Structure 1
Amino acid sequence: MRNLILGAASAIMLCFSASAQIQTPQASPHSVIEQMVGLTTVKIDYSRPSARGRAVYGELVPFGRLWRTGANANTTVTFSDDVIIAGKTLKAGKYALYTQPKVDSWDIIFYTDTNNWGLPEKWDETKEAVRTSVKPEFLNRSVETLTIGMNALDADFGYLEIAWEKTMAAVKIEVPTRATALKSIEEAMSGPTAGSYFAAAQYFYQSNADLTKALTWIDAAINLTPKGEEVPFYMYRQKALIQAKTGDKEGALASAKLSLQGAEKAGNADYIKMNKDSINEWSKK
């Protein structure tokens, strides 16, 4: 009887152990972020340790030594396009992110082997796709949990920032927005629509590129408006902005007035205000 009871208890325990899963929080939670920089996707995959009262740099992370820059598996950064770091081209792809913090400078390293748990057993300099040195910034606040992200974003670049404790190291990542956009524009122009012409003109205006081309393209967008339909007020608005930037205030005023008329018919308060403000500003010059 006793053996039967023990056997039943063992069976129950086996069933319990097979079905139950104990869940506990990670000491260094996993994080994945994706950030568009211009037209390039940057993905950062890392685990985030916290200070928890410990001194970080100089103790937990010794100065002068290579650091995994995170916890657990490799911290990785993936780029959808070729990028430029410190004047060096880094091919599109996935890289392990390592650093070598020092008191007055940090080495930031993009390493081609991403299959390590922390640091490689043997460091291979031939796998350093890019290594660059940056000056750390000392913060007036304390960052409890390691934070890596893309910030200070522009259409053509962003900064990969590594912040923990009271230190932040940032490296500039330049992306090929202009080249990608131009290629897209050229491809679209093989069979352009009004929307393609408008997008091309808008991009050239915003990026301070060839405004003569921008004006040609916005006129093409306007001219492609189907007969019997009114030209969209946002197209006239874009034309007015391009004309103003070229110094053609009279043309800009005329286009802004057409945009205003269209916006009033459509009841678009934002464009009504923008056009009225511009007409008032340009009339004074």
Structure 2
Amino acid sequence: MRLRIPFSLLLYTLVFTACKQEKKEAEIIPEQSQIETISKSPQKVLSPHISTIVIIGDTQIQINYSSPGVRNRMIFGGLLAYDQVWQAGAHMATWIETNNDLIIDDKVLPAGKYGFFTIPSKNEWTVIFNSNWNQHGKDEYNEKDDVLRFKAIPKTSGEIIEHLEYKIIKANEKEGAISLAWERVFVSFNFQLKQ
């Protein structure tokens, strides 16, 4: 004898099972979405990575750096001791790249990519372009790799610049200035394109 299941009961069982399965999946999906959202939510970066690029004539100049914050600290003469090499940023050394020769302080900086370092002092800074651009901080800094060194006079600002900031300012089609500002200190130097 064959058991006959009415079609309506079979259909009800299939629909009920499918609805029950759909409800289980619906309960799981929000949890997965929340995990993805949490893992994708941006964390506050203390020293964001920044790149500044300017084109003057046929010359492109780029500065790449991590921008630390003051965060209620004394920076120059405190966190950063005077008269010591600083990678002019956080984490990896700051680097500057130019596709054409520049004249800075009456000296030629050949086209290329350079680690940018400074030696901050109270009344005078040493600005350094070093051939070893790819290094963590100043861990591998060697004065023998310096391509160009010169002095710059720091200026003091009345307001605090919370995050280290570099600017490349175009004066005209042949010259400009590079500046860095952080805490209450501002340092700037001029450059010309080599003709």
Q: 2:51 aligns with which of 32, 38, 44?
A: 32
Helix, strand or coil at the partner of 1:167: strand
Separation (CA, whole Å) in 2 of partners of 1:100 and 1:91: 22
After superposition, residues 1-285 of structure 1 pair within 5 angstroms as 23-121=42-140, 123-151=141-169, 153-176=171-194, 179=195
Q: TM-score, normalised by structure 1?
A: 0.53
Task: State the shift of 1:164 in Å.
Answer: 0.7
Consecutive unaligned residues of structure 1, counting only runs of 5 or more, are 1-15, 180-285
Equivalent residue pairs, number:
160
Helix, strand or coil at the partner of 2:144: helix
The verdict on how the C-alpha distance between 1:56 and 1:152 changes in structure 2, with shifts beyond 3 A counting, is farther
Helix, strand or coil at the partner of 1:119: coil
The verdict on how the C-alpha distance between 1:126 and 1:58 changes in structure 2, with shifts beyond 3 A counting, is same
Aligned AA for 1:88? K
In the alignment, which residue of structure 1 is the partner of 2:13? Answer: none
Higher helix fraction (1 or 2): 1
Task: State the shift of 1:163 in Å.
Answer: 0.4
Helix, strand or coil at the partner of 1:126: helix
Question: What value does the CA root-mean-square deviation take over the aligned residues?
Answer: 1.9
Separation (CA, whole Å) in 2 of partners of 1:34 and 1:40: 10
Task: State the shift of 1:152 in Å.
Answer: 5.6
Identity %: 27
Separation (CA, whole Å) in 2 of partners of 1:38 and 1:170: 21
In the alignment, which residue of structure 1 is the partner of 2:18? Answer: none
Helix, strand or coil at the partner of 1:51: coil
Aligned AA for 1:76? W
Separation (CA, whole Å) in 2 of partners of 1:167 and 1:107: 14
Equivalent residues of 1:144, 1:164 under 8 A apart: yes
Equivalent residues of 2:52, 2:166 under 8 A apart: no
Task: State the shift of 1:171 in Å.
Answer: 1.5
Equivalent residues of 1:139, 1:168 under 8 A apart: yes
Task: State the shift of 1:72 in Å.
Answer: 1.2
Q: TM-score, normalised by structure 2?
A: 0.76
Task: State the shift of 1:39 in Å.
Answer: 2.9
Higher strand fraction (1 or 2): 2
Equivalent residues of 1:38, 1:157 under 8 A apart: no
Helix, strand or coil at the partner of 1:133: strand
RCO greater where, 1 or 2, for CA within 8 Å and sep 6 or more? 2
